[in-house]
């Protein structure tokens, strides 16, 4: 979350700070002579002297400039002072690593298309200036950065920023409209009955911790192997469960325990280099922000575990495997299945990366795959299905039968997810990728991207104690209720998969206080038509 906050501050810097930066605190001659505001075919130059006059209280002499500043939210000079002195960067070590990452540089490049320094749209002058400031200061404010830029003119494209804002507003409205459309399809609310899958306090199922040496890593993989207490069961499948970017196996013990308690063997792993330890190294300024470059190693992790199972190094009774993952773990599962990214990804990313609203943050990871080589794969032997929690990948494949797989997909998402928004990522992904009649999407109202993650202390309070430190504003509706529902519906899907039957689609379901929907391809197509 600190990463997203830092990026958002860069965007705010571009829209407002560029206009207001100079000379409220240091009214001396600077390299920059003027700002040029471009909108609606016009260009308005604003001189340094005019801004100095305004800062000294000359509103009546320059009412036009005062009106502009009022519209931007600075009706009083103390508001401007507070904005300029707010730290843009509080932790210079982490900031450096973010700026050096693919995602950080790409965002800065896109911001630079709308804020030009002497017609330079590369963003290099901003990056170099920020790097120099980070060498000198522990904290860097908005004013520090803008005051240090050695440019004659700063050009601000207001038309571009307005378009970005409108695109963001449009995407948010689509997310809101999705719920009303679901209600209109079926106004009846159906209460979901069923046994309580797993009491929260159950502990009788334990796991075995295995250290697996692999050729593609310098360190072994740490695995949890959860086998049911009774090995005499008729389950045809076992589950390989993968955390998302910055996550670890401890976040999903609740799900592994639920599945094992209901008869499935489960292997849960950490992915070195993109787990919670890697995120901790980022916070400490030791490693860059991990991105899609970790996917090849993650796929190799899957292959190593499948080979270890086949050779008997991992003792599992069932032969067929279900790949299950959260966020990047779900995308890794899909790519490991052998589905190839189509050759139009570059064209799609060229458009999406121009939209700085970033209402779909997963687009950054998806578009980074343009620069990453994934080896051709024939698929995974005995792969029964893929279960993806808060999955993404809709930019990677066109909506045509050429790319589609007959592997059943069960994708889950939440209406409060702005990292992998359901309307494009879960619903759109299923249409783009799956031809199996067993495929479904579970959409939970009020759930967010982080709802499936259980952190230390979450059982009795809304705020976790580990590195994620997630509060209610991030995880959405009570995460334990969402996790209980996820366990119930995932187990229902696995039960039906064992019998080769599909879960019946239904909208407006309730379980306790949660409202949710199970959607098949036909319902999704109708929903997206209503949203088009």
What CATH number is associated with residue 466? 3.40.50.1820
**pLDDT at position 418:** 77
Task: Tell whether 39 is covered by a domain.
Answer: yes
Q: Please report which confidence band the pLDDT of residue 275 belongs to, taking 50, 70 and 90 as the band edges.
A: confident
- Residue 9 clears pLDDT 60, i.e. is over it: no
Same domain, yes or no, for 449 and 398? yes
Three-class DSSP category at 269:
strand
Dihedral pair phi/psi, residue 33, rounded to 5°: -100, -30
* Same domain flag for 323 and 382: yes
User: Among 42-56, 187-201, 324-338, 380-394, where is mean pLDDT lowest?
Assistant: 187-201
Contact 263/270 with Cβ under 8 angstroms?
no
Q: Are residues 400 and 442 in the same domain?
A: yes
pLDDT band at 383 (very low <50, low <70, confident <90, very high): very high
| pLDDT tens digits, one per residue of 107-117 | 666 666 666 77
What pairing do the DSSP bridges indicate for beta strands 221-226 and 506-511?
unpaired
Domain limit, last residue, from 162, 197, 212: 162
Report which DSSP code applies to 330: H
Say if 241 falls within a structural domain.
Answer: yes
Residues 336 and 93 sit within 8 Å (Cβ to Cβ): no
Q: Are residues 127 and 18 in the same domain?
A: yes
Contact 244, 327 (CB under 8 A): yes
Indicate the residue among 162, 178, 195 that finishes a domain.
162
Tokens of 105: 């540089």
Same domain, 157 and 222: no
Same domain, 335 and 449: yes
Considering the entire predicted model, what is its pTM? 0.76
Of these ranges, 70-79, 182-191, 403-412, the one predicted with the greatest mean pLDDT is 403-412
Residues 209 and 142 in one domain: no
Residue 355 forms part of a structural domain: yes
Q: Higher-confidence residue: 211 or 398?
A: 211
Q: Quote the number of domains for the chain.
A: 2
Strand, coil or helix: 96: helix
Nearest-CA neighbor of 449 among 254, 243, 163, 235?
243
Residue 170 lies in a domain: no
pLDDT at 120: 64
Is residue 436 located within the same domain as residue 518? yes
Domain membership of residue 321 (yes or no) is yes
Domain residues for 504?
186-531
Is 18 among the domain residues? yes
For residue 188, the model assigns a pLDDT of: 57
**Torsion region of 2: left, alpha or beta (phi above 0 gives left; psi -120 to 50 gives alpha):** alpha
Res 426: pLDDT: 94
Length of the chain: 532
Q: Which of 92, 127, 162 is the last residue of a domain?
A: 162
Residue 495: phi, psi to the nearest 5?
-60, -45
Which tokens hold the place of 320? 């067929």
Query: Do 244 and 351 belong to one domain?
Result: yes
Tokens 């590195």 belong to which residue?
A: 467
Pair (362, 401) in one structural domain: yes
Mean pLDDT of 151-174: 72
153 membership: H or E segment, kind and range: strand 153-157
């Amino acid at each position: 979350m600190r990463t997203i906050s830092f990026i958002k501050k860069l965007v705010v810097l571009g829209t407002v700070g560029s206009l207001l930066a100079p000379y409220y605190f240091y009214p001396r001659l600077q390299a920059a002579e003027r700002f040029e505001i471009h909108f609606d075919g016009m260009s308005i130059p604003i001189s340094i002297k005019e801004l100095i006059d305004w800062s000294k209280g000359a509103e009546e002499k320059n009412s036009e400039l005062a009106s502009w500043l009022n519209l931007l939210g600075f009706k009083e000079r103390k508001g401007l002072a507070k904005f300029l002195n707010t730290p843009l960067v509080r932790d210079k070590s982490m900031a450096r690593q973010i700026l050096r990452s693919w995602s950080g540089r790409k965002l800065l490049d896109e911001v630079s298309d709308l804020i030009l320094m002497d017609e330079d749209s590369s963003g290099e002058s901003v990056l170099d200036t920020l790097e120099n400031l980070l060498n000198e200061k522990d904290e860097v404010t908005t004013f520090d950065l803008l005051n240090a830029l050695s440019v004659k003119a700063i050009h601000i494209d207001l038309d571009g920023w307005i378009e970005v804002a409108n695109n963001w507003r449009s995407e948010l409205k689509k997310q809101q409209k999705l719920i009303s459309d679901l209600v209109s399809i079926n106004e009846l609310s159906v209460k979901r009955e069923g046994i309580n899958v797993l009491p929260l306090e159950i502990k009788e199922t334990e796991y075995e911790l295995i250290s697996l040496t692999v050729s593609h890593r310098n360190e072994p993989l740490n695995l949890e192997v959860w086998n049911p207490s009774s090995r005499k069961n008729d389950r045809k499948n076992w589950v390989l469960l993968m955390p998302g970017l910055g996550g670890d196996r401890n976040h999903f013990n609740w799900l592994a325990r639920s599945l094992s308690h209901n008869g499935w063997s489960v292997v849960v792993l950490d992915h070195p280099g993109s787990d919670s330890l890697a995120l901790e190294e980022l916070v400490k300024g030791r490693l860059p922000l991990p991105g899609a470059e970790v996917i090849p190693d993650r796929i190799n992790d899957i292959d190593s575990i499948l080979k270890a199972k086949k050779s008997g190094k991992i003792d599992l009774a069932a032969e067929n495997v279900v790949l299950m993952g959260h966020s990047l773990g779900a995308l890794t599962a899909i790519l490991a299945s052998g589905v190839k990214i189509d050759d139009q990804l570059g064209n799609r990313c060229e458009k999406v990366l121009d939209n700085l609203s970033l209402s779909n943050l997963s687009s950054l990871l998806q578009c980074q795959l343009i620069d990453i080589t994934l080896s051709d794969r024939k698929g995974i032997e005995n792969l029964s299905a893929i279960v993806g929690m808060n999955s993404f990948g809709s930019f990677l494949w066109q909506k045509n039968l050429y790319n589609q797989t007959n592997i059943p997909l069960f994708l889950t998402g939440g209406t409060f997810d702005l990292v992998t928004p359901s309307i494009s990522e879960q619903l759109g992904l299923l249409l783009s990728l799956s031809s199996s009649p067993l495929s479904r999407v579970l959409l939970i109202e009020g759930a967010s991207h982080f709802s499936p993650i259980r952190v230390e202390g979450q059982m009795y309070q809304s705020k976790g104690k580990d590195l994620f430190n997630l509060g209610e504003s991030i995880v959405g509706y009570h995460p334990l209720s969402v996790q209980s529902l996820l366990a119930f519906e995932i187990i229902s899907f696995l039960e039906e998969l064992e019998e080769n039957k599909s879960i019946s689609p239904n909208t407006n379901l309730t379980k306790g206080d949660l409202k949710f929907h199970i959607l098949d391809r036909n319902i999704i197509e109708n929903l997206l038509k209503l949203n088009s």
